[in-house]
Chain A
């Protein structure tokens, strides 16, 4: 009889197993699996003993009183419905990957931009919106990349470490990173291209590592991340992107008013 693996038991415990009835059936007839599941339940029940202090019904007022002095009056300027940032974010998500190469060219002014390339997206979105969408996409990509690198840098483990979650994530980011890097190269943005190249190497290494690595191997990845100062570089570029994004938003608001 094939025993249940831990992942199946965890999903079953949380009521998210697809094959719930077959797991249930198996647990009634298989002593080792039942014992394994009992242990899992004991551990997770122990986790529940951790107390969390309750707050009174007045807590909302307390928070509000501390918060109020820090809130500036909201601007009376309202985005036209079709230009609201959330709509732009949605448009960005849809357009980012397909159009990233071209849009990057738009954001990073080239010395010689071919006319044919400029015409296609210009018919689809006004330039300012396009720029905001692009800035949001690149900044978001850098932020997510930073998250994965920080997560790996913070992983603890004295023997073997499972990095499968980070790998799935790295795989996803790799495709986007390639597009952004190639566009940066095309646009002559040497600094950005170099950071994205460093990032791509690390993402590639993470994606291609075994899903379980020794603490020594994890140490090597960490060292590489630290030696290249990649997290710091991403932060600097990400901050500059966000700043440009805010400037683009202000410019757009100014033109709309």
Chain B
């Protein structure tokens, strides 16, 4: 039977590097997905994955045994992403180059066969979604990504972001309102 994260963390704390390697193995893919959502950039996401595990390694003593290691790691990854977003230029300038750099890596799935108009429209929707996400403030973006893509509850999000539950809720409301304003016209066309 596989050791639980708590057991593996205890070994890593004692200096067992294979134990930390196991934690990297278990969690790196989900942290990468989160970082991609937060940055919109494959390369930046790779850097954030690296930074997240480095910070986790340095702060292993702060991990509480009764907590969930995955959640704790998510919190670090979100903080790394927030730092990254804040270091970026203001959104207006960012929007000049808003296309995610992995856009071409996944083909548009076309449920209606090979209709080129449909495919172009779907590409357009993706661009608009990326642009709309780029308009969110760092906290709004983190709250929205955690709720919408990662399926976290508002309670979990407030814990991860260090916000009161009401503040986390309002960040999500504000994010959804912005997304609706930006995407409502094109979303109806894409149906």
Contact = CB atoms under 8 A, between A and B. Distances in A.
Contacts of B29: 54-55, 59-60
Nearest to B90: A154
A45 interface: yes
A66 B138 CA distance: 28
B70 interface: no
Contacts of B164: 168-169, 172
Contact-size category for A: 35 or more
Interface in A39-63: 39-40, 42-47, 49-55, 59-61, 63
B106 to A, nearest CB: 4
A85 interface: yes
Contact of B36 (A11, A53, A71): A53
A6 B173 contact: yes
B75 interface: no
Contact of B60 (A46, A60, A74, A90): A74
A53 B137 contact: no
B170 A74 contact: no
A66 B177 CA distance: 40
Contact of B135 (A67, A75, A156, A172): A156
A10 B137 contact: no
B6 to A, nearest CB: 13
A150 B79 CA distance: 13
B8 interface: no
B53 to A, nearest CB: 6
Q: Main SS of the interface on chain B? A: helix
Given A47-B179, A89-B62, A53 B102 contact: yes
Nearest to A146: B86
Contacts of A89: 62
B162 A85 contact: no
22 contacts: A7-B169, A39-B188, A42-B187, A42-B188, A43-B183, A47-B133, A49-B190, A52-B37, A55-B28, A63-B49, A64-B25, A66-B50, A74-B57, A76-B15, A86-B61, A144-B162, A152-B137, A154-B86, A155-B137, A168-B167, A169-B163, A172-B164
Given A10-B172, A46-B190, 15 more contacts: A6-B176, A10-B176, A16-B153, A43-B184, A50-B100, A52-B33, A52-B102, A66-B50, A67-B24, A67-B54, A75-B15, A79-B61, A147-B82, A165-B139, A165-B170
Interface of A: 6-7, 10-11, 14, 16, 39-40, 42-47, 49-55, 59-61, 63-64, 66-68, 70-71, 73-76, 78-79, 84-86, 89-90, 144, 147, 150-152, 154-156, 162, 164-166, 168-169, 172
Closest 8 CB pairs of A and B: A60-B25, A165-B170, A51-B106, A46-B187, A168-B167, A42-B187, A74-B15, A63-B28
